[in-house]
Amino acid sequence: MKLLVTSALAAASCLVLAGCGGSSTPAAAPSNAQGQTVVKLMVGGANKQIYLPAKLTERLGYFKEQGLDVQLSDEPAGVDAETAMLAGQVDGVVGFYDHTIDLQGKRKAAESVVQLLQVPGEVVLCRTDVADQIHSPADWKGRNLGVTGLGSSTNFLTKYLAVRNGLQAADVHSVAVEAGNTFIAAMQHKSIDCGMTTEPTISALLNTGQAKVLIDMRTAAGASQALGGVYPASALYMQTSYVDAHKDVVQKLANAFVKTMKFIARSSADQITDKMPPEYYTGVGRAAYVKALSDEKGIYTPDGIMPEGGPQTVLNVLSAFDPNVKGHNVDLAKTFTTEFALQANKNAG
């Protein structure tokens, strides 16, 4: 009987450790009926130009070229996409890099594996009827500020701009209004005084005269003036546990995204727009969409590699107000990797 019990315990230990020697083999990524590796990615607002590379990569066929069945889903607020990733509903997120730093403060490990934007591409707009009363974030006290979602990157940046201009984060009231039609409606109904958004929502409001620009972070100069340095934004980020377990899959994703970034760098805004779904620019019109994209093409990285010094700027911003980061020791080296993007550039030749 003693021998049977001992054998049973040993067998149970082997099951727990996924192999008698204590080593475990990560489960293979799932495949579809055609043998393509299935990867689920959530985008924090697929029709925003700041997240354009995700849909563009799909439309160009670069995911399939790598043997991947990438299933894109859309979530207007990046913070909700992050939550879906942590819950295991998706494998990765196309969202702002700053979430990986915030997550480390919460003792959760995630990292940017391909950097898509080198600046935020965000603009702070104020309603035309109050624009002459608001000359800088210092005038935001008691105001309602539109953000995509509470805990989103637009919320992070809005709070930082308030603090950097002499206010307390609590002096402004963040209102979750997402983007597109809901953001525009919030302006029209005067639910918000100012708000942070991206193209094509920016053009829709400016072209109708409903809003004016207060802060423009669509260029490196504008981002540096507002935030104190280049602020790397949209990225493909994933939990470190997934990256470590599926390096081959992550490399294929990087190969596809880097090829897209090179396509963007060499193509005109008109050529890029030709590849996008028409419904992405129905509200603003194709001509306005093309012009907006042409004006802000510099927001994209040309190679998917993290801009030098960028992570430190992001850490500085979050350390000013984010309780998950302020006063914490953050290891920036664990919040991003250039391993896959560098190899993808070599693969591209």
> Comparing 4 with 116, which gets the higher pLDDT?
116
Kindly report, residue by residue over 198-229, the tens digit of the pLDDT.
Answer: 999 999 999 999 999 999 999 999 999 999 99
Cβ pair 222, 204 in contact under 8 A? no
Q: Per residue in 95-121, pLDDT tens?
A: 999 999 999 999 999 999 999 999 999
- pLDDT band at residue 78, thresholds of 50, 70 and 90? low
Give the model's pLDDT for residue 34.
Answer: 85
Q: Would you tell me how many other CB atoms lie within 10 Å of the CB of residue 15?
A: 9
For helices 98-105 and 310-319, the axis angle rounded to 10 degrees is: 50
Closest among 51, 67, 105 to 237, alpha carbons compared: 51
Q: Can you give the residue ranges of every domain in the chain? A: 37-119+232-282+299-348, 122-227
Q: What is the pLDDT of residue 79?
A: 73
Residue 157 binned pLDDT confidence (cut-offs 50, 70, 90): very high
CATH class for the region spanning 37-119+232-282+299-348: alpha beta
Q: Is the pLDDT of residue 23 over 80?
A: no
Mean pLDDT of 169-176: 94
User: Please, which residues bridge with residue 70 across strands?
Assistant: 39
- Mean per-residue pLDDT over the chain, rounded: 91
pTM: 0.89
Q: Is 125 helix (H, G, I), strand (E, B) or coil?
A: strand
Architecture of the domain defined by 122-227: 3-Layer(aba) Sandwich (3.40)
**Percent residues over pLDDT 70 in the chain:** 91
Long-range contact set of residues 341-345: C-beta below 8 Å, sequence gap at least 24: 341/113, 341/114, 341/115, 341/254, 341/258, 341/303, 341/304, 341/305, 341/306, 342/305, 343/251, 343/254, 344/114, 344/251, 344/254, 344/255, 344/257, 344/258, 344/259, 344/304, 345/258, 345/303, 345/304, 345/305
Cβ neighbours of residue 345 closer than 8 Å, sequence gap 6 or more: 258, 303, 304, 305
List, in order, residues 6 or more apart from 138 with CB less than 8 Å away: 165, 166, 167
Rounded CA separation 182/34 (Å): 39
Strands (E), 192-239: 194-197, 211-217, 234-239
| 285-328 per-position pLDDT tens digit | 999 999 999 999 999 999 999 999 999 999 999 999 999 999 99
Peptide bond into 200 cis (omega under 30): yes
pLDDT for 283 equals 82
297 vs 261: CA distance, rounded Å? 11
Q: What is the pLDDT of residue 25?
A: 56
Contact assessment for residue 119 and residue 220, using Cβ atoms and an 8 Å cutoff: yes
Out of 6-20, 264-278, 293-307, 334-348, pick the least confident: 6-20
6: its two tokens? 């001992």
Q: Please name the residue that has the structure tokens 């953050």.
A: 330
User: Comparing 37-119+232-282+299-348 with 122-227, is the CATH topology the same?
Assistant: yes
Q: At residue 276, what is the residue type?
A: M
pLDDT exceeds cutoff 90 at 31: no
Sign of the CA dihedral running 47, 158, 122, 84:
negative
